[in-house]
Structure 1
């Protein structure tokens, strides 16, 4: 049986939103957001809709089905990749050097490097799982086509959303390094700066990136769970 290295579906996304809002000192209200169908409708143009229709009508795969061994191999690769990324993220800030210890740029560059690594690794895993699915049952092959359409259509939107995290981090960096007596009431709401504010900042930056990692890997986990449900008992 596949052991999930992530939290339950949807939890990682909520956690990232909560952490980002907390770092920015704002409140979130999911009830004020449009429904999921409406938000997706804004992202899908005519060309995307045609691609979605083609994916729904896709016929492929083999009748033999997928084996549990193949699914579990992919699950192990997911777990290994995530573990390696977590270790790299947890080292964030340890090797950051700057002539000005209060300069944000070195911390930002190191964080963006890690974020790009997280994005690239999760994308590679997702592509690999989709490719494996296309060689399996017709149901999984169709699901892989659908996932590819959603991935392509939402790529620009998700990239834009994730890019905003660095802005939140810069705001948090400036807040933490500013003496309490110079902070506005809004900034103080986000938390008083500790004595070792750089260590506090690095911990918060790591937590945000770990949450982003889980969000980026959720589609991979979902595809693997679909494969597991379709898997036969063959070795």
Structure 2
């Protein structure tokens, strides 16, 4: 089975928070509550019942070797990430230096790239789950648990990522004022910071897929 690519899982979140702090976002530097406590805040009664069902989930049909599918998803993930990185690094290139462009133009372009990152991560995650449910009961149960956690955390995740455009707007205005004598330098710096934030967000969004694929790899190795 193809080696699962590693993008420093766990470090991606720290990198994103670090970049947000550098851009002026209020990021807490105090200790966070334990993982169990934080998850408990997201799971109401209905989510808890769904989680209990996921823990005892049994797929109707398993036992179809999905190693080839896992390999294809791993390769697709690597290719998609590289393609998105290339697109992200062109952010702001469509603006001419003498154009008088407000933040809305930059925001729409940034949001378009963010939507691409969301769509790619969602597509890869769904493909991985489907293959897991066909491969074995162990992976099928893990896929069902991932669906449950994904749904329970969807609102919280969306809320967290929705703060980034607000940070970008504040940063755009601050750099525009700071670099009023040399506006091109200010815009170049803004575009560079916006690209770095989106690259960090991309890796955070891909981490669940990487975790699932690593579990698939471990399951395949243990069954040999």
Q: Deviations over 1:32-54 (max 9, x none)?
A: x2111111111111110001000
Q: Compute the displacement of 1:194 (Å).
A: 8.2
Separation in structure 1 between the aligned mates of residue 222 and residue 151 of structure 2, nearest angstrom? 33
Find the residue that maps to 1:24 and give its secondary structure.
coil
Q: Which residue of 1 aligns with 2:56?
A: 57
Q: TM-score w.r.t. structure 1 length?
A: 0.86
Structure 1 counterpart of 2:82: 83
Q: Write the deviation string for residues 92-147 of structure 1: whole angstroms up to 9, x where unpaired.
A: 11114699635111001100111111111111111111011111110000000000
State the partner residue of 1:197.
Answer: 186
Unaligned runs of 5+ in 1: 182-192
Matches within 5 A, 1:14-33: 14-24=14-24, 26=26, 28-31=28-31, 33=32
TM-score, normalized by length of structure 2?
0.90
Runs of 4+ in structure 1 deviating by more than 6 angstroms, as ranges, are none
* Superposition map of 1:141-152 within 5 A: 141-152=140-151
1:69 deviates by: 2.9
Alignment RMSD:
2.5
Aligned residues of 1:18 and 1:28 also touching (Cα < 8 A): no
Deviation at 1:157, TM superposition (A): 0.8
Residue of structure 2 in register with 1:69 after alignment: 68
CA contact (8 A) 2:12 2:203 kept: yes
- In 2 relative to 1, CA 112–27 (structure 1 residues): closer, same or farther, beyond 3 Å? closer
Distance 2:25 2:164 in 1: 13
Classify the secondary structure of the residue corresponding to 1:196.
helix
Which secondary structure state, in structure 1, belongs to the residue aligned with residue 100 of structure 2? coil
Any stretches of 5+ residues in structure 2 without a counterpart?
none
Which residue in the other structure is 2:10 paired with?
10
Is residue 93 from structure 1 mapped to residue 92 from structure 2 by the alignment?
A: yes
SS of 1:29 mapped into structure 2? coil
In the aligned structure 1, how far is the partner of 2:51 from the partner of 2:117?
27
Who is 1:123 aligned against?
122
Question: How many residues get paired?
Answer: 223
Counterpart for residue 213 of structure 1: 202
Displacement of 1:66 in angstroms is 3.7
Q: CA deviation at 1:149?
A: 0.3
Q: CA contact under 8 A between 1:93 and 1:107: conserved in structure 2?
A: yes
CA distance in 1, matches of 2:89, 2:38: 34
Name the counterpart of 1:160. Answer: 159
**Residue equivalent to 1:229:** 218
